[in-house]
């Protein structure tokens, strides 16, 4: 296979190597002790692994040093996310929490009091949060689809409505929820505002899990006269859509990096298997049909990685990156699906077995063509730019 260094510095190559070894030596052996569809490692195992990453200076790599993180820049964090995803749970729970649980970047927009109460505990693994935008009415156009409302009262803000397809809700200590704070009619772009709602707040409840194609089930959140104080507003009133747009656009790039990481691991598995698996007296590697599948996967993966790295570099340089983000998410999610599908085909029956991670990656990747914006929406965004 052709090797490329993609212009990475020696420091970034060392980061890749360090994370790769940690995943291979620390994460994968622990995963193999659990059910193939497990969504987390035991709490005591995660705590032990977090102590190791703290000692390595790799705990919460993307969080600023002032909050207790490693302070990686955006491009370096994208490289990190590519490597840390190369294990069975990697597309749902990258690193299994060993490097710290994901932190919603929107919390950095909070007040100092909010950062002290929510952000810092999340960095230190004392709290976990979840993020709620999508509603039963839709999710691709949140400014119009959001129908959950918050009404101003003498005691604070009264929230009523529902959110759906919300991941991590059962383990979250709080949710950042986007609601309408105007009185305009449903179906038009309204005033969107973000609130922090703590689990256990009267009027806030979580449904039973909603079974889906992937192992981790999302939830529906119900708000019935859920009263929160003015201090729970994150950002300014009506500023939620700007926060939301910035957050989603940015998150799509490391999200795409995860797809590239799993695709790379799948391709390497397919290459190795094709060398040892024989059919009709010859290794699969000598069959042209298999050779072409490997070649197509290598070409597509190389192109996807270039697109993702370019988007990460543009974002790291603080340049406009909307189109680059959409290109990265669109291409990486679809290429990864193709690469994993071919890897399963090359493995034959073993590719479908839960003994290998391929079938789980396939299911996880199917959700990624919808999550963080469906492929069709990103094609719309890109074409709109081309035609403007």
How far, in Å, CA of 190 to CA of 362, rounded?
A: 37
How far, in Å, CA of 257 to CA of 252, rounded?
A: 9
The greatest distance separating any two alpha carbons of the chain, rounded to the nearest whole angstrom, comes to: 80
Burial grade of 46 (CB within 10 A; 0-12, 13-18, 19 or more): buried
Reported as type and span, the H/E element at residue 243 is helix 240-276
Name the residue among 66, 49, 151, 170 with its Cα closest to residue 116: 66
How far, in Å, CA of 328 to CA of 323, rounded?
A: 9
How far, in Å, CA of 230 to CA of 79, rounded?
A: 39
Active-site amino acid positions: 372
C-beta neighbour count of 268 within 10 angstroms:
13
**163: β partners:** 221
- Report DSSP state, residue 60: S
How far, in Å, CA of 70 to CA of 277, rounded?
A: 43
CA 24 to chain centre: 21
Q: Which residues contact 110 (CB under 8 A, 6 or more apart)?
A: 118, 119, 196, 234, 235
What is the DSSP track for 349-373? HHHHSTTSSHHHHHHHHHHHTTTTS
């Amino acid at each position: 296979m052709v090797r490329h260094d993609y212009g990475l510095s020696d420091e970034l190559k060392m980061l890749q190597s360090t994370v790769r070894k940690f995943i291979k030596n620390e994460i994968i052996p622990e995963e193999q002790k659990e059910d193939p569809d497990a969504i987390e490692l035991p709490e005591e195992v995660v705590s032990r692994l977090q102590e190791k990453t703290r000692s390595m200076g790799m705990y919460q790599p993307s969080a600023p040093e002032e909050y207790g993180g490693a302070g990686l820049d955006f491009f370096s964090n994208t490289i990190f996310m590519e490597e840390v995803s190369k294990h069975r749970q990697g597309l749902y729970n990258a690193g299994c929490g060993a490097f710290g649980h994901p932190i919603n970047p929107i919390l950095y927009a909070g007040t100092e009091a909010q950062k002290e109460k929510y952000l810092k505990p999340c960095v230190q693994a004392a709290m976990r949060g979840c993020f709620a935008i999508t509603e039963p009415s839709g999710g691709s156009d949140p400014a119009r689809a959001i129908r959950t409302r918050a009404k101003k009262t003498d005691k604070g803000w009264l929230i009523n409505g529902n959110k759906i397809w919300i991941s991590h809700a059962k383990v979250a200590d709080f949710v950042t929820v986007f609601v309408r704070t105007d009185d305009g009619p449903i179906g038009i772009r309204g005033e969107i505002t973000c609130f922090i709602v703590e689990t256990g707040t009267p009027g806030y409840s979580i449904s039973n899990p909603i079974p889906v194609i992937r192992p981790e089930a999302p939830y529906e959140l119900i708000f019935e006269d859920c009263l929160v104080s003015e201090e729970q507003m994150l950002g300014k009133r009506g500023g939620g859509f700007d926060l939301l747009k910035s957050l989603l656009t940015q998150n799509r790039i490391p999200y795409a990096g995860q797809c590239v990481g799993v695709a790379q691991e799948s391709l390497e598995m397919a290459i190795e298997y094709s060398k040892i698996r024989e059919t009709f007296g010859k290794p699969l590697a000598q069959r042209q049909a298999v050779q072409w599948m490997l070649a197509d996967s290598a070409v597509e993966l190389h192109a996807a990685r270039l697109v993702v790295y370019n988007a990460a570099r543009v974002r790291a340089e603080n340049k406009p990156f909307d189109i680059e983000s959409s290109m990265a998410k669109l291409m990486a999610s679809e290429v990864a699906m193709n690469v994993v599908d071919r890897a399963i085909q090359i493995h034959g029956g073993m590719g479908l077995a839960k003994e290998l991670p391929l079938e789980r990656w396939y299911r996880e990747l199917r959700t990624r063509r919808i999550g963080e914006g469906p492929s069709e929406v990103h094609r719309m965004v890109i074409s709109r730019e081309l035609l403007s």
